[in-house]
Structure 1
Amino acid sequence: MPLVKLEGVSVSFSAAPLLDGVDFQIDPGERIALVGLNGAGKSTLMKVVNGQVHADHGSVWQDPAIRVAQLPQMLPAADERLVYDVVAEGLAEVRELREAFEALSHKTDAASLQKMERLQLRLEALDGWHLEQRVQTVLDRLGLDADTRMSELSGGWRRRAALGAALVQRPDLLLLDEPTNHLDIETIEWLEQVMLDYRGAILFVSHDRDLVEHLATRIVELDRGNLTSFPGSYTQYLELKQKLLEDEERQNAEFDKKLAQEERWIRQGIKARRTRNEGRVRALKQMRQERSQRRERQGTANISLDEAQRSGKLVAELKHVNMQYAGKPLLQDFSMTVQRGDRIGLIGANGSGKSTLLRIILGQLEPDAGEVKLGTKMDVAYFDQLRGQLDPEKSVIDNVSGGRESVDINGRQRHIISYLQDFLFSPERARTPVKALSGGECNRLLLARLFSQPANVLVLDEPTNDLDIETLELLEEILLAFEGTILLVSHDRRFLDNVVTSSVVFEGDARVREYVGGYKDWLRQRPQPVHQAQAEAKPAEEKQKAAEKPRRKSSNKLSYKLQRELDSLPEQLEEAEAELEKLQAETSAPDFYSRDHEDVARVLEVLHQQEQRLETLMERWVELEAMQEEG
């Protein structure tokens, strides 16, 4: 039995409906990723599901016993409330019922006793007598301190408190709108695991492609008012979506060709009009109407950036730098060299010192100790995740142009309206005050402002927040083509993997190391898991012994047990590859996705597990081969 069911639902706030007669169903235990371009109506659909927006047409049904909770996109305020009170706000109804019950508990008249009886039944149905235990259980699970004030917490910890207010309700359906915004990578992975362990249904909107890949059991795309469901992983969604777009383009081209033929026919000479077929005329009118009602797919942003003259080969050189803040060490004996063309990602928990290191590299902050040498001819453009560079009272145009009618992009004058259209701002939207923009529009505006400035060093602090996936992927392409230097702070794992050439990782206890490659490359190269690296550091002697042990062992031949394992791996790899090919052939069949939804999901899950098994076997074979060669 479904939890929520929408049939023929339409919602419109303008000429083009955001939801155009959509059908949608959420079943127990599903984890549905809702994707689509900024402004497509994803938040509106979630509000319809939650009962906050009423449909213009169609029906919305909810299981009468369902409990729905939502994690809002905006962070809770950094005010003087205690964390306990913020989490307990999720049980506001329970608290009100208990307060009402206690207010009546001193009265003995019949009417009061009847009210108390009704309140008691309602409280028992909501498990309201165990409010304190429920709150404390969630606090423990999320690692939150009940007595800490919200003003003392970082954005990531405030997000945890907001999640606690949702989870304490024990919802059957949890709605998440961009849940990873303002979270560091460690917290994102923690949230991912919490959601995987969660037994209720989840409907979530996220630009984090790795989160969608790992979490979603089904992907639903909202495009031009229509919903399309894609079973399987994000990678499979991309493949199917590309095929659908190609089919749509081909069908539209065939339709337009036929329409053009009919238009030529209707405009023929006198003789043709005498023998004109009235049915054909009516069909032409219908085709004209159908063409006028076609909703074209919203274009993707056409981003380009204005590159300045080349900087010197050296951008910055740091030698034995030490830095602390409020008595807490952030950098200890840290050295690195930044050269022209480097694309460096900074990875670490919120508050670990990433912004401090950026300011040192740019010469904006003197370290407590050590030497910093800066390069020459540097033109720096800075992307601020907090949007402090935007004036909320001014229009989109004024925030970019500064009163000019045009901007100079790579030596070519562009009218400001034309330039902003590249970032998906219509002429009307370009005249809108910034305070009326959505989060995604604000980030696109920041990019438009950033890329209108000549620069050979880009500093990007969380540029991916609120961007739709298509714009995010286009941004990746632009950054890869940029010939200058990029310093990138991001908690988007796939974005880091796709863009950076090296990663500077804050591993805890002021230990900062540089690794070749992106996030996954760091995971492969790091000496130990993050939670161990953040634990108490080993004494220098123990570290030396730990480093020497594997070298001594590698000088010997493989043990009998390891040799047997190595000998058996080729056969296991061959079997795993054969099974994977069989599954891939099954999922590539033309009629595969027309099968029963549960059967499709089961096969896709088996395929995913087989891919992981093959990768694990391959990694083990490479590891043992390397050990044998060293021996």
Structure 2
Amino acid sequence: MPTLVLQNLYHAYGSEPVIDNLNWNQTESEKICLVGRNGEGKSTLMRILAGAESPDQGSVGWSDDARIGYVPQELPLPDETLVRDFILSGAGKAAEYILRYEKLLMTTPDHPDVEKVQQWIEENNAWPLMATIEAVLQRFSLDGSATMSQLSGGWRRKALIARAAIQEPNVLLLDEPTNHLDVESIRWLETWLKEFRGLVIFISHDRSFIDAVAEVIVELDRSQLYRYPIPYENFVDNREERLTIEAEQNALFDKRLAQEEAWIRQGVKARRTRNEGRVRRLEALRQERSQRRNLGGKADIQVQAADRSGKLVFDLENLTFHYPGQRIVENLTTEVMRGETVALVGANGIGKTTLIKILLGQIQPQSGTLVTGTNLNVAYFDQGRHQLDPEKTVMDTVSEGRDFIEINNKKVHVITYLERFLFSPKRARSPVKSLSGGEANRLLLARLFSQPANMLVLDEPTNDLDIDTLELLEELIADFPGTVILISHDRYFVDNVATKVWGMPGNGQVIPIVGGYREWFEFWSKQEAMAAPEKKPKAKPAVAAAQASAGPKPKKLSYKDQRELDQLPDTMAALEQEIAELHNTVAEPTFYTQEQHAVQATLNLLADKEAKLEALLERWVELGG
């Protein structure tokens, strides 16, 4: 059983310590959720535990039997590396020799190095890795022959987790593993982690995921670790109690220190001699007070209100929009009224962002009608953070170079405004490119809420936010007098804020349900259960279209053809996602204002990918899919 001992850990960036004299003794194989505010050093600690970063001072001691699998927060690059090779690379030197051996056999089988490489593999018992990679690809439903550039963000996250699994670890370190995953993939990850035997330490803001996986919650607060029982609600209550006691103790300490300071100032005028012991105790009190690390502040988010919109915000009748090979929305008739919070729920690539762009008039529907209400002022939160210029400073991003901005008819200095979002004056003058993921999201919120708005459109607003800021955002949405349209895979967040869900199970269906994610899940589970006797295995839209036109299946395929058939749905789904993204690009109003060669290059790429998808569909039919 792996064990961990951290002693007097210290790590700083510049002059500011992120971790200061931290200690941790872990002897049980538990599933631990590590929580804490943005900037407390959670990701830094995780990198140190994984050996990806070394502390400035202190020691990290893993037991000799520890085999560590690490999943960082950052996604791997969408390059031309094969998925199989990327996952194999997690196995270290053994993977290098396996890949070298395969390359030699394919290119120069008579090369003198073949025998040397083969000998190393045999001596180090690395041949089983060949079977392990196939098993991992199958378990994670990944196509090893695809390239990383063909995968969406969610599938690259899966590949990253698979890369950790290839090492057959008994310790898993996961930094925000649910980012970019849709709800179906999050549920799959929950099941996989529950079955994992070993120590799991993960960072997450997804409270439903925490409750499903964690056996204990450990909070990192000012370089101290505090253990709490699950579920998450227990942590909230116990943490509040701890902080209340701490505040009371600090108040008593400060009162005593003030009394001693008053005594020392009396000096010789009040008495002829001083009590030297009391002077020394005062010095000790001063020293203790100087070392106290105060609790960080909470974000103070307010929306700049605009005039009310009309009562009817959107009226949709038989609204339809398709991409080639994929139905986004089919004959949708519904309405959105002022004051509603509508959450769009569905798998990655199903078309949620496209539907929002249709509502906002950025993409025109192919049929049906969309009536937009009067006096709408929209503030849009973009999950890709495309609204942020990395070269601008934080304050210029919000104020466009002005010292003051107007919030609810009051002038506020931009530094004061940014402090409400936990940006210090020094941080406010920093470039955007230096921000962490959580800070970038807080900056987007700061910019968003500085605009007069009676409608908020939030595309994955919860990514990278700490839980305190998340809860504040929930309160803001609940109190917002206007209309909110949002996309989120955070089930807890959706349950807390949504008054209505538009469920998007695929094939153009958009199903409005009153309530939150829980109501949608119960409704759709019943629908699937009723359809179960005649239901066929789930398929991606393009695959389903191919199935409808396919003839009778051959009785038996070769192993190679069967493997190709099994992998085709995910390959086509990834390609459909790329095609959808390219269609979004082409639909942008500024697309045709570019240089002609840039426009043509994008159109050629789109045509190539659509042709490739068509060829894959034909192959699917040929194999009997």
Q: Which residue of 2 aligns with 1:258?
A: 256
Q: Which amino acid aligns with 1:485?
A: T
1:51 aligns with 2:51: yes
Q: Which residue of 2 aligns with 1:240?
A: 238
Per-residue Cα deviation, 1:417-471 (whole angstroms, up to 9, x for no partner): 1111111111111111111111001000000000000000100000000001111
Q: Which residue of 2 aligns with 1:450?
A: 448
Confirm or deny: 8 A CA contact 2:319 2:365 kept in the other structure. Answer: yes
Q: Which residue of 2 aligns with 1:543?
A: none
Whole-Å separation in 1 of the counterparts to 2:295 and 2:219:
13
1:34 aligns with 2:34: yes
Report the alpha carbon displacement of residue 412 of structure 1 after superposing the two structures with TM. Answer: 0.7
2:337 pairs, out of 324, 339, 353, with: 339
Report the alpha carbon displacement of residue 358 of structure 1 after superposing the two structures with TM. Answer: 1.0
Corresponding pairs, count: 531
Per-residue Cα deviation, 1:211-242 (whole angstroms, up to 9, x for no partner): 11111112111111111222433222222111
Q: Which residue of 2 aligns with 1:624?
A: none
Q: Which amino acid aligns with 2:182?
A: D
Whole-Å separation in 2 of the counterparts to 1:331 and 1:500:
21
Per-residue Cα deviation, 1:240-293 (whole angstroms, up to 9, x for no partner): 111110110000000011111112222226452314312111111211221122
Q: Which residue of 1 aligns with 2:89?
A: 89
Secondary structure of 2:430 counterpart: coil
1:402 aligns with 2:400: yes
Gaps of 5+ in 2: 537-625
Per-residue Cα deviation, 1:43-98 (whole angstroms, up to 9, x for no partner): 11112211223333332211223221211212222222322222222224213244
User: 1:216-365 maps to which residues of 2 (within 5 A)?
Assistant: 216-268=214-266, 270-365=268-363
Confirm or deny: 8 A CA contact 1:340 1:484 kept in the other structure. Answer: yes
Secondary structure of 1:66 counterpart: coil
Q: Which amino acid aligns with 2:72?
A: P
Confirm or deny: 8 A CA contact 1:508 1:534 kept in the other structure. Answer: no
User: Relative to structure 1, is the Cα distance of residues 531 and 77 closer, same or farther in structure 2, using a 3 angstrom cutoff?
Assistant: farther
Q: Which amino acid aligns with 1:388?
A: H
User: 1:381-392 maps to which residues of 2 (within 5 A)?
Assistant: 381-392=379-390
2:489 pairs, out of 488, 491, 494, with: 491
Secondary structure of 1:53 counterpart: coil
Secondary structure of 1:267 counterpart: helix
Q: Which residue of 2 aligns with 1:187?
A: 185
Per-residue Cα deviation, 1:530-555 (whole angstroms, up to 9, x for no partner): 698799879xxxxxxxxxxxxxxxxx
Q: Which residue of 1 aligns with 2:4?
A: 4
Secondary structure of 2:319 counterpart: strand
Whole-Å separation in 2 of the counterparts to 1:382 and 1:9:
42
Report the alpha carbon displacement of residue 364 of structure 1 after superposing the two structures with TM. Answer: 2.3
Q: Which residue of 1 aligns with 2:595?
A: none
Whole-Å separation in 2 of the counterparts to 1:100 and 1:213:
43
Secondary structure of 2:427 counterpart: helix
Whole-Å separation in 2 of the counterparts to 1:324 and 1:78:
26
Whole-Å separation in 1 of the counterparts to 2:431 and 2:449:
20
User: Relative to structure 1, is the Cα distance of residues 534 and 178 closer, same or farther in structure 2, using a 3 angstrom cutoff?
Assistant: farther
Q: Which residue of 2 aligns with 1:140?
A: 138
User: Relative to structure 1, is the Cα distance of residues 90 and 2 closer, same or farther in structure 2, using a 3 angstrom cutoff?
Assistant: closer
User: Relative to structure 1, is the Cα distance of residues 535 and 260 closer, same or farther in structure 2, using a 3 angstrom cutoff?
Assistant: farther
Whole-Å separation in 2 of the counterparts to 1:472 and 1:100:
47
Q: Which residue of 1 aligns with 2:474?
A: 476
Q: Which residue of 1 aligns with 2:598?
A: none
Whole-Å separation in 2 of the counterparts to 1:76 and 1:530:
35
User: Relative to structure 1, is the Cα distance of residues 163 and 242 closer, same or farther in structure 2, using a 3 angstrom cutoff?
Assistant: same
User: 1:186-225 maps to which residues of 2 (within 5 A)?
Assistant: 186-225=184-223
Deviates more, 1:134-143 or 1:354-363: 354-363
Gaps of 5+ in 1: 539-631
If the length of structure 2 is used for normalisation, what is the TM-score? 0.80
User: Relative to structure 1, is the Cα distance of residues 100 and 180 closer, same or farther in structure 2, using a 3 angstrom cutoff?
Assistant: closer
Deviates more, 1:525-534 or 1:164-173: 525-534
Equivalent pairs: percent with the same residue?
49
CA RMSD, Structure 1 to Structure 2 (Å): 2.6
User: Relative to structure 1, is the Cα distance of residues 101 and 80 closer, same or farther in structure 2, using a 3 angstrom cutoff?
Assistant: closer
Secondary structure of 2:266 counterpart: coil
User: Relative to structure 1, is the Cα distance of residues 536 and 507 closer, same or farther in structure 2, using a 3 angstrom cutoff?
Assistant: farther
Secondary structure of 1:372 counterpart: strand
Confirm or deny: 8 A CA contact 2:85 2:99 kept in the other structure. Answer: no
Whole-Å separation in 1 of the counterparts to 2:17 and 2:384:
32
Report the alpha carbon displacement of residue 131 of structure 1 after superposing the two structures with TM. Answer: 2.2
Report the alpha carbon displacement of residue 382 of structure 1 after superposing the two structures with TM. Answer: 0.2
Whole-Å separation in 2 of the counterparts to 1:534 and 1:47:
45
Whole-Å separation in 2 of the counterparts to 1:533 and 1:295:
58
Q: Which amino acid aligns with 1:410?
A: N
User: Relative to structure 1, is the Cα distance of residues 100 and 503 closer, same or farther in structure 2, using a 3 angstrom cutoff?
Assistant: closer
If the length of structure 1 is used for normalisation, what is the TM-score? 0.80
Whole-Å separation in 2 of the counterparts to 1:470 and 1:282:
40
1:24 aligns with 2:42: no
User: Relative to structure 1, is the Cα distance of residues 405 and 82 closer, same or farther in structure 2, using a 3 angstrom cutoff?
Assistant: same
Whole-Å separation in 2 of the counterparts to 1:100 and 1:393:
42
Confirm or deny: 8 A CA contact 1:508 1:533 kept in the other structure. Answer: no
User: Relative to structure 1, is the Cα distance of residues 69 and 2 closer, same or farther in structure 2, using a 3 angstrom cutoff?
Assistant: closer
Q: Which amino acid aligns with 2:366?
A: D
Whole-Å separation in 2 of the counterparts to 1:173 and 1:77:
25
Whole-Å separation in 2 of the counterparts to 1:281 and 1:425:
39
Secondary structure of 1:417 counterpart: helix
Q: Which amino acid aligns with 2:222?
A: R
Whole-Å separation in 2 of the counterparts to 1:146 and 1:230:
41
Whole-Å separation in 1 of the counterparts to 2:396 and 2:172:
40
Q: Which residue of 2 aligns with 1:160?
A: 158
Moved over 4 A (4+): 98-103, 105-109, 115-119, 529-538
Report the alpha carbon displacement of residue 2 of structure 1 after superposing the two structures with TM. Answer: 4.0
